[in-house]
Amino acid sequence: MRRLPVAVALGSATAVALASATAVADSFTPVALNVSIAPVARLHMPLRVKVAVTADAGVLDTATAPLRIRVKLATECGGEFAGTAGTVLLDKRLAPQPATGHAYSGSASGSGRPTRYGVQTVCVFMEEEGDDRQFATDTASEVDVSRPCTAEAARYDLAERALKRDSRRRQGLARARRIASADRRRARQLCGTGVPL
């Protein structure tokens, strides 16, 4: 993936699927991004992402406006958030904002709904509001917006609705439970644990 020079020295950011290892800033990686996102997603359904940021003391002192974490799911990451075509997953201010002269630790989280099938890159930008000056980027995570997962999870959704309807009517309840349970098992096999069911 193409990366543009940024305002401060960047280290390699660590991408993590569903919060495994943690990236910590040090003298070789003065700004570190830790991306938590499910590796498989459903089309048009919420996909959550969280980005934790750590930075060495003084590294973010040159910021003259609030810093934002901005994330898009795209087939290819551009050099900046605005120039990347894709689904917005996150565009929020870091909380808390950095304090001058101090080491930093903060995060932002959000969600978006993927609009196309296939394996896509999670394009993460830490930018300053107003001029979009970059302090860090990450393009190491990928998400498979899976057609089989989407189809099977939708089938489970229908079975779950039928179960609720039949529970109210008390008709065919045992059969509806069996169908919903089987559909949930198949959906979980295809989608993994990161997709809400």
Structural domain includes residue 196 = no
Banded pLDDT at 195 (limits 50, 70, 90): confident
What is the model's pLDDT at position 156?
Answer: 86
**CATH code (residue 137):** 2.60.40.10
Structural domain includes residue 9 = no
Structural domain includes residue 3 = no
| Same-domain pairing of 164 and 128 | no
Domain count, the chain: 2
What is the model's pLDDT at position 3?
Answer: 35
| Same-domain pairing of 27 and 48 | yes
| Same-domain pairing of 140 and 163 | no
Mean pLDDT score, 159-174: 72
Name the 3-class secondary structure at 183.
helix
| Same-domain pairing of 171 and 134 | no
Banded pLDDT at 119 (limits 50, 70, 90): very high
| Same-domain pairing of 110 and 156 | no
> If residue 66 lies in a helix (H) or strand (E), which one and from where to where?
none
pTM (2 decimals)?
0.75
Structural domain includes residue 6 = no
Position of tokens 């996909």? 47
| Same-domain pairing of 153 and 113 | no
Structural domain includes residue 62 = yes
29-54 pLDDT, tens per residue? 789 999 999 999 999 999 999 999 99
| Same-domain pairing of 99 and 172 | no
Structural domain includes residue 138 = yes
Position of tokens 């109210």? 168
| Same-domain pairing of 180 and 115 | no
Over 90: is that where the pLDDT of 9 sits? no
Give residue 37's Cα distance to chain centre: 4
Q: Give, in degrees to the nearest 5, the angle at Cα 109 between 92 and 146.
A: 115
What is the model's pLDDT at position 110?
Answer: 97
What is the model's pLDDT at position 175?
Answer: 76
| Same-domain pairing of 164 and 96 | no
What is the model's pLDDT at position 7?
Answer: 35
Position of tokens 């605005």? 82
| Same-domain pairing of 174 and 124 | no
Structural domain includes residue 179 = yes
Structural domain includes residue 2 = no
Owning domain of residue 21: 14-145
Over 80: is that where the pLDDT of 24 sits? no
Amino acid type, 108: A
- HSE value, Cβ hemisphere, 13 Å, CA-based, for 46: 8
What is the model's pLDDT at position 15?
Answer: 34
| Same-domain pairing of 73 and 117 | yes
| Same-domain pairing of 21 and 101 | yes
52-104 pLDDT, tens per residue? 999 999 999 999 999 999 999 999 999 999 999 999 999 999 999 999 999 99
Higher-pLDDT residue of 1 and 23 is: 23
